[in-house]
Amino acid sequence: MYNKSDESGRTMLETIMYISLLIVLGASIAQYISGAFRRYKIGRTAQQVLDFKKAIVQFTAADEDYTQLSIAHMDAQHAIPLDMRAAPGTARHALGGSVTAGPDTDTEVVGKYMFFITFDHIFQGGCVEILTQGQFYGDGSEMDTLIVNNKFAWRYEHSFHKTTGIPTVHTVMPNSTNMPAANIRLTITDALSACNQREDNTITWIFS
């Protein structure tokens, strides 16, 4: 016998199921979009290191060395890349942390012929991904030393930056006599060890 209450019950149950399905689907889509956006920001942050390095080279092209290099001076001359500009005299990377730069004063040579770029407040996953990307390493990168959280450093045998006071220093040596040194390249294990802060990792690149 037809029972209207049974049909109403089924309709209500189906409605609840549909709503639950939509909630789960919406959450999955939101999670995917959030993950994709986060990956974009990590990739953009890595690229900003190279963009900022290029901006520094152009900004100091007429100078004898990097003595006058600072974020404030670059900002005053509108030399900071557009998507890195923040409050007057400051710069930020895509993950929200601050950017600092200046002449490297802790070197083996007299004169300010090297410069540093530091990105801070990088969450652990972003730190690992940035460090394992290859655009900072290899011939033509002009990277002298890489420092993470001021506790881990990677340098070449004849790097000019002093790493005194840094507990763990990896020096890349030639594979054999009269052979050039292998390029600095971090593994995921290396990066995980160095990026040991959950939300506040700092990476410094020293360039010549």
Instruction: Mention every residue, 6+ apart, whose C-beta is less than 8 A from residue 26.
Output: none
Structure letter (DSSP) for residue 108 = S
Q: What is the percent of the chain where pLDDT is above 70? A: 77
Retrieve residue 28's tokens: 């999955």
Mean pLDDT for 151-170 is: 91
Structure letter (DSSP) for residue 127 = H
pLDDT value, residue 158: 82
Taking the complete model, does pTM exceed 0.85, yes or no? no
- For 205, list phi and psi in degrees, rounded to 5: -110, 130
Give residue 103's domain range.
4-207
Assign 3-class secondary structure to 99-160: EEEEECCCECCCCCCCEEEEEEEECHHHHHHHHCCCCCCCCCCCEEEEEECCCEEEEECCCC
pLDDT value, residue 196: 94
Q: Mean pLDDT, the chain, as a whole number?
A: 84
What's the CATH number where 73 sits?
3.30.1690.10
Determine contact, residues 74/59, Cβ cutoff 8 Å.
Answer: yes
Domain total in the chain: 1
Angle at 131 between CA 126 and CA 137, to 5 degrees: 150
The yes-or-no verdict on residue 9 having pLDDT over 90 is: no
Determine contact, residues 104/161, Cβ cutoff 8 Å.
Answer: yes
Q: With the CA atoms of 169, 175, 178 and 183 taken in that order, what torsion angle do they form, in degrees rounded to the nearest 10?
A: -60
